[in-house]
Homo-oligomer: A and B are copies of this chain.
C-alpha cells in the first residue's frame, strides 16, 4: 500500500524531528557524528507520548486528503510538545508563522535549538504552537475543548487524543458524556482517540490495565462505538476508514482505543533497564548524554533508525515521500485553531432597550440578572450560530429565563412529559459540571465564537485551575503576532455570597475574585454592577471585548434601581463615581467617604448614608460606588487604574473611607495599598462568617450592615466617638433587635423588609 509508505515516512520524519528537538543544539541532519557540543546542556521534554501523537497525526492526514475533511487536532498529552511542533514544521505552517524557522537545514537547526530552551518555546503544546487550541500542561480538559470546538461547526471533525493518564482525571471522565449535547445536524464531530501507552509518570494507568472487555463496556456506556487498534499502520488506516464512515451513519459516534508501547521506537534499553514500553520513557530516555559517550552513540543510533536521509534532502528539506502525506487542509494551519482569524463580531442588539425605568433613584427595585436575561435572549436570537450560554443547570435559578423565549436547552436524548425547554437546537448548555461548562466554552471561544458562563459564585472555584490556564493562554497569546484576538471569556456569577443565606455556609464564598486578580492585569477584568442598568451596560461591554477574562458579579434578587440607563452608561464607563443623590458633601471635601462595590454592600451603604442623613445631618458624607474593581489599582499595575490624583479627588487623601465590599475585604487593601489615603481606609466585607439565615443577618454576621457602617463612621470620624456615643449605642441596639427578630421569626425584621429610602423624595 503506497500510501502507508508515505504515512510511515511522514511518521518517521516527525519522530526524528521530535527527538531532535529534545536533544540537539546543532548537527540537525547528523551530517557528522554527534559530539558533546551538539547536545543540549539540559535535556527537557517528554518523549513517551510523542510517537503515538505523531502516529495519529500522520494517519489523520491521509483521511483529510482523501475525504477533503476539515479537521483540527487536540493533543491531550500536551507535554508531547515536540510532536505538534514537528507537524507544523513538516506541513510548512511553522515557517509561515515564524519565517526564521525555515523548512530547511538552517530552520531545522533553529527548530531543535529553540525547543524548551530559554528564549525559545515551551516544552508543552502552547499558544506558540500553530494548529493548537489546547495547552495540555494541566491534564483533563482535552475532550471538553474538543466538544466546544465542534459545536456549531458542522463541517469540522475534531480529533482528540486522550492520554491514559489524563483519562484518570475527573474533568476528562465527565467529558465523555459531552456526546449527549452534540447535535448531529448542526455540530461537527469529535473523534476521541484514547491512547493507551500504559503508563503515567511512574505508575501504570487504570484504563490500560482493566480487562479489554471492561474498557469496551465503559466506552459503550459512554455512548460510543469503540474500535481497538494496535501499533500497526494497517490497523490504524483500516480503522480510520471505518470510523469516518460510521460518523455519518446515524449510529453512536465512534471512538478509537489505540494501544502502543510508551516511547515507541525509542531506546529499548538504557543501562540494562527496559525503557521502551515502560514508564521510564516518560520524559528523556537517555539522560545526560553530553557526558556519556555510550549514550551519545545510542542517541545517534536511535535518530538514524528513522533513516533521515530518506526523509530529508541534503538541504534539510522534507523529501517528496514525506510531503506527499501532507494534505492541503493542514491541521497545523486550520483557521479553527486560530479562532481570532475567523471571529466575527457578535450582532449586538441595543442593550438600552432592556433598561429598567428609573424615574427617581432608589424608588423601585429590579432583579438585575432578569433584565440581563432579556438582553441575552436578543443576543441569542441575533446570533443563531455563534453564541452559547453555559451553566450548571442554574440559568433559571440565576433568573436568566428570558433566554428560553428565544431558545431551549441543548438536549439530544429522549424527551419526556414535563421537560422544560429542551431541544437539540437549544443554545443554552446546562450540565451539572462546572468543568464541562468551562471546557466547552473555552473550546468554543478558542475556535472563534462567543459565550457566557453563568454560575453560582461559590462553585466557580471548581474551575479555578481551568481559569488559571486559560488566563495564561491569553497572556502568552498576546505576544504572538499571528494569534488573532478571540472573544473574552465572560463569567456571570450570581446567587452570590450575600444571597445564599438559605443554602448556607457551603454556598458562601466570594474568593474567585482573589484568584482572578492574581493573573496578569492585561488579561483580567472584574465588574460589580450594583443594579439592573449597570449590569446591562457591563454585559454589553464584556460581550464586545477581546482577549480578556471578564468576571461580572451581579445579584438575582431584587435590588434598588440606582441609575437611569444614561447614568449607568456613564458610571460604568468611568468605572466608579460619586452617587450624588446619596451624598451630603455638596461638592465639598467630605468628612467621610462611604465607598461600596457589589449590590448588597451598595444597598447597605446607601441605607447607612440615609441613617447618617437622618441622625447626623451636618456630616458631609460622600458615597462612592465602584463597578470596575481594577480602577482601584494604580495605573502602573493595571491599565484601568485610576491616577493617584483622580483617586485622591474621589476618596480624599486624608479622610476616613469606609469601604463596603462584596468579597473578602483584603482584596481592596491589596488593590489600594499604594494609595495616599490607604491608612485611612477601613474595609468591610465577607469574613467567612456564614450559616443558614436571612439576608440581613448575613450582612450583620460580617459587619457590612447599615447599622455597623454607621458605627464605623462614628468610630472613625474625628470627634464623633464621644459626641455620638448615644447614636452608636442606638445602632448597636438596632442590630441586636434585628438579630433577635430573625431568630424568633425566621425572617428579617420589619424595619429592614419595609425600609423606606429618603432619596426619591
Contacts and interface: CB of A to CB of B under 8 A. Distances in A.
Interface of A: 25, 40-42, 44, 79, 116-124, 126, 135, 137-140, 165-166, 168-177, 180, 198, 200-206, 209-210, 214-223, 274, 277-280, 393-397, 409, 411, 413-414, 416-420, 422, 430-436, 458-459, 461-462, 464-465, 468-469, 472, 475-476, 502-507, 509, 511, 514-515, 518-520, 664, 666, 669-670, 673, 678, 688, 690-694, 697, 742-743, 745-747
Given A394-B201, A396-B201, A693 B464 contact: no
A281 to B, nearest CB: 10
A202 B456 CA distance: 15
A258 to B, nearest CB: 18
Nearest to A44: B502
B219 A688 contact: no
Identify the 9 closest CB pairs spanning chains A and B, nearest first.
A218-B221, A137-B506, A170-B170, A173-B173, A217-B221, A461-B465, A122-B504, A170-B174, A168-B432
Contacts of A140: 170, 462
Instruction: Report how many copies the assembly holds.
Output: 2
Nearest to A420: B202
B201 A506 contact: no
Given A118-B693, A170-B174, A202-B430, 9 more contacts: A123-B504, A169-B170, A173-B176, A200-B393, A218-B221, A458-B468, A461-B465, A472-B505, A472-B506
Nearest to A226: B221
B418 A277 contact: yes
Contacts of A694: 42, 118
B169 A435 contact: yes
B180 A169 contact: no
Contact of A673 (B117, B277, B669, B747): B669
Given A168-B433, A220-B221, A459-B465, A118 B511 contact: no
8 contacts: A41-B747, A119-B693, A119-B742, A170-B173, A209-B416, A218-B218, A274-B417, A511-B515
A505 B520 contact: no
Contacts of A217: 217-218, 220-221
A456 to B, nearest CB: 9
B174 A123 contact: no
A203 B694 CA distance: 28
Contact of A220 (B214, B279, B678): B214
A702 to B, nearest CB: 13
A396 B282 CA distance: 13
A144 to B, nearest CB: 9
A218 B218 CA distance: 5
A688 B420 contact: no
Nearest to A175: B170
Contact of A221 (B120, B221, B394, B693): B221
A119 B747 CA distance: 11
A103 B143 CA distance: 52
A476 to B, nearest CB: 6
Contact of A223 (B120, B210, B419): B210
Contacts of A165: 393, 432
Contacts of A433: 168-170
Given A666-B670, A692-B118, A40 B746 contact: yes
Contacts of A431: 168, 206
A40 B692 CA distance: 14
A454 B175 CA distance: 26
A176 B464 CA distance: 24
A669 B673 CA distance: 8
A180 B210 contact: yes
B509 A468 contact: yes
Contacts of A458: 138, 468
Contact of A462 (B118, B124, B414, B465): B465
